[in-house]
Amino acid sequence: MSELTFIVESTLQALAAGLALGSIYGLMCIGLAVIFGIMRVINFAQGEFLMLGMYFAFYALIGTGLKAWIGGAAGSYIAVLGTAPVFYALGMLIHRTLMTRVSGIKVLGTDDEGQSAQLVLTLGLSLILQNGALIVFGSMPRGMGSPLASAAWEISLGDASSIFINQARGVAGLCAIVVTIALAYFMSRARLGKALRAAADNPVAATYMGIDVARCHRIAFGLGTALTAVAGALVATYYPLQPYVGLEFVVIMYAGVVLGGMDSIKGAFWGGLLIGVVQQMSALVLPTQLQTAAIFVIFLLVVFFRPQGLFGRVSDRA
Amino acid sequence: MQSGRAMLNIDQLSVNYGGLRALDQVSLRVNEGEFIAVVGPNGAGKSTLFKAISGTVPAASGTIRFDGEDLLALPAALRAHRGIAHVPEGRQVFKSLSVADNLAMGAWPRAPRAAQWARTLERLHGLFPVLAERADQLAGTLSGGEQQMLAIARALAAEPRLLLLDEPSMGLAPRIADLIFDCIQSVHRDEHMTIVLVEQRAVEALSSCDRGFVLESGRVVLEGAQAALLGDERVRQAYLGR
């Protein structure tokens, strides 16, 4: 094998891995972006929603006998599917009991638009969920043990070279793309999706149209929670889970959302995708410990040259 | 239409806004099919009156009844569902939504079927042809006059029974403002829409209305039929400049 084929092969290999991983990052970013874009709330507990999504999928697979019944592969994805409605409901409940006290129309026009209270609340929630998970689930890392996690598809490139895609990551990436497209369609075409955007754009005018803004916020919080939890469940099919796992991903989520432009749901996906690709490609030239550093180099470059993010509009809110 | 049934009945309404008494014991009655003008200087409480009707500022005391129903007991978002459409001051279109989606959001309380909606759109586009041309454009990219037309069309998309118009001519070139006034008058004349218009351009407002109210420092200082107001010496001096 020549030097050149080797470089091409390893580049394509990193790109393929980056696209699969990046799509999953994209989905978790969208969860955060839906909440911020519609409610203007920065949710610091988003990493913990991801962690809970992972544990939910784990227990749905292992604890219910699903795995013994139809096997680890199919069972994993049924568990992932179950995450969506449960976390949608959980998100709505958290909104109704907690978020509604510090967000919504009533904080408009107050000194900091409720941001300090939101920070304290979501950060507090994050700590409670983290430590609660430590008490309930223990600190021992677990795995769903999906057989796909240790299998790979081989794509031949001719002349004896080929790239491999981990099956669990590949399927997870595809699922993330499907969910993203479905959400984009919902937000742009469905009546309720348009109402969510209208409530975000101008909550007072939306009220004049008869749109219940508090209900829109509840739906947005439910959706945002469910999207990130589903991404977490997909991650759990190939990645070990422990109570602090949210911290590993929350940085990626924030970077992805800022990269894409804080307002843009579409942008959040591309931001997450970019991070996945950069992370994997940087492994070609940098030691593994510096992968996260590579993400932040790209992050700083984008913020420096395009502070509104890749897809953000220059805000007229200021 | 003068002697029509009372549609909106405001009785002794007081509103505190930012530590001040913005409305002080305001009573106002709007009959079905009437065109009412509310004029007065800046800060007289005209917009506050509309916000109290729509429920975005709380009332301190008094009552607002719409078709006999106590509006103050109704959450703000439900009031549009009763047939009240509010075109807010400064237009407030959904800037990041397309013109077509803005209109669709106006029809939120009706949730019309496709065929019904096509008829409504045809009517609105007949009133404001420029909105048909710009259907796919983001509302934030429209000119001020076009945004005002969109704001009015968005309210009409709900097929409301009562239309509240807050300063529709604000910040517009005189020619565009005239066009908007013509449209408002034709909606009133052709569809017998009940309209309450708040306006600083008192001449236009008073010359198109059936009855008018003069609001100063949160109180109704004068009310009456169009002819009586136009003939009133104080109104002529303060608002008509002659």
Q: Name the β-bridge partners of A23.
A: none
Find tokens 């509840």 and name the residue: A218
For A194, which of B78, B93, B104 is closest by C-beta distance? B104
Q: For residue range B186-236, list pLDDT tens digits in order.
A: 999 999 999 999 988 888 888 889 999 999 999 999 999 998 888 888 888
Which pLDDT value is given to residue A109?
74
Least confident of A279-283, B25-29, B94-98, B162-166: A279-283
A210–B75 CB contact, under 8 Å: no
The predicted pLDDT at position A63 comes to 87
The full DSSP string for chain A is --HHHHHHHHHHHHHHHHHHHHHHHHHHHHHHHHHHHHH----TTHHHHHHHHHHHHHHHHHTTSHHHHH-HHHHHHHHHHHHHHHHHHHHHHHHHHTGGGTSSGGGTTSTTTTHHHHHHHHHHHHHHHHHHHHHHH-SS-B----GGGG-EEEEE-STT-EEEEEHHHHHHHHHHHHHHHHHHHHHHHSHHHHHHHHHHH-HHHHHHTT--HHHHHHHHHHHHHHHHHHHHHHHHTTS-B-TTHHHHHHHHHHHHHHHH-TT-HHHHHHHHHHHHHHHHHHTTTS-GGGHHHHHHHHHHHHHHH-TT-SSPPPPS--
The residue whose two tokens read 């002080």 is B24
pLDDT at A315: 47
> Residue B79 has what pLDDT?
96
pLDDT tens digits for chain A (318 residues)? Answer: 578 888 888 999 999 999 999 999 999 999 999 999 999 999 999 999 999 999 999 999 998 888 888 888 889 999 999 999 999 999 999 999 999 998 888 777 777 888 899 999 999 999 999 999 999 999 999 988 888 888 899 888 877 788 899 999 999 999 999 999 999 999 999 999 999 999 999 999 999 999 999 999 999 999 999 999 999 999 999 999 999 999 999 989 999 998 888 778 889 999 999 999 999 999 888 888 888 888 888 888 888 888 888 877 654 443
Out of A216-220, B1-5, B168-172, the most confident range is A216-220
pLDDT for B2 beyond 60: no
Count interface pairs A-B at CB distance under 8 A.
Answer: 72
For residue B237, pLDDT over 50 is answered with yes
Task: Return the amino acid letter for A125.
Answer: L
Residue B213 backbone phi and psi in degrees, to 5: -130, 140
Of A175, A171, A124, A133, the C-alpha closest to A152 is: A171
- Mutate which of A209, A262, A263, A316 to disrupt the B interface (most B C-beta within 10 Å)? A209
Contacts of A204 in chain B (CB under 8 A): 56, 88, 92
Asked whether residue B242 carries a pLDDT value surpassing 70, the answer given is no
Binary contact (A206, B76; C-beta < 8 A): no
CB contact under 8 A, A209 and B79: no
Pairing mode, strands B194-199 and B35-39: parallel
Residue in A201, A202, A210 closest to B77 by CB: A210
- Measure B118 CA to nearest chain A CA, in Å: 16
pLDDT for residue B3: 53
In this complex, is the C-beta atom of A197 within 8 Å of any C-beta atom belonging to chain B?
Answer: yes
Q: Which residues contact A88 (CB under 8 A, 6 or more apart)?
A: A222, A223, A225, A226
Contact B55 A207 (CB under 8 A): yes
Q: A209 to chain B, minimum CA–CA distance in Å?
A: 5
* Chain B CB within 8 Å of residue A193 CB: no
* Other residues' Cβ atoms within 10 Å of the Cβ of residue B222: 18
At B11-68, the pLDDT tens digits run 999 999 878 899 999 999 999 999 999 998 888 899 999 999 999 999 999 999 999 9
B109-130 residue pLDDT tens = 999 999 999 999 999 999 999 9
Query: Is the CB of B92 less than 8 angstroms away from the CB of A198?
Result: no
A201 neighbourhood in chain B, CB within 8 Å: 94-97
Judged by CB atoms closer than 8 Å, whether chains meet at A198 and B97 is answered as yes
HEC profile for chain B? CCCCCEEEEEEEEEEEECCEEEEEEEEEEEECCCEEEEECCCCCCHHHHHHHHHCCCCCCEEEEEECCEEHHHCCHHHHHHHCEEEECCCCCCCCCCEHHHHHHHHCCCCCCCHHHHHHHHHHHHHHCHHHHHCCCCEHHHCCHHHHHHHHHHHHHCCCCCEEEEECCCCCCCHHHHHHHHHHHHHHHHHHCCEEEEEECCHHHHHHHCCEEEEEECCEEEEEEEHHHHHHCHHHHHHHHCC
Contact A207 B92 (CB under 8 A): no
**Residue B159: count of CB within 10 angstroms of its CB:** 18
What's the one-letter identity of residue A60?
A
Assign residue A43 a region (left: φ > 0; alpha: ψ between -120 and 50; beta: otherwise): beta
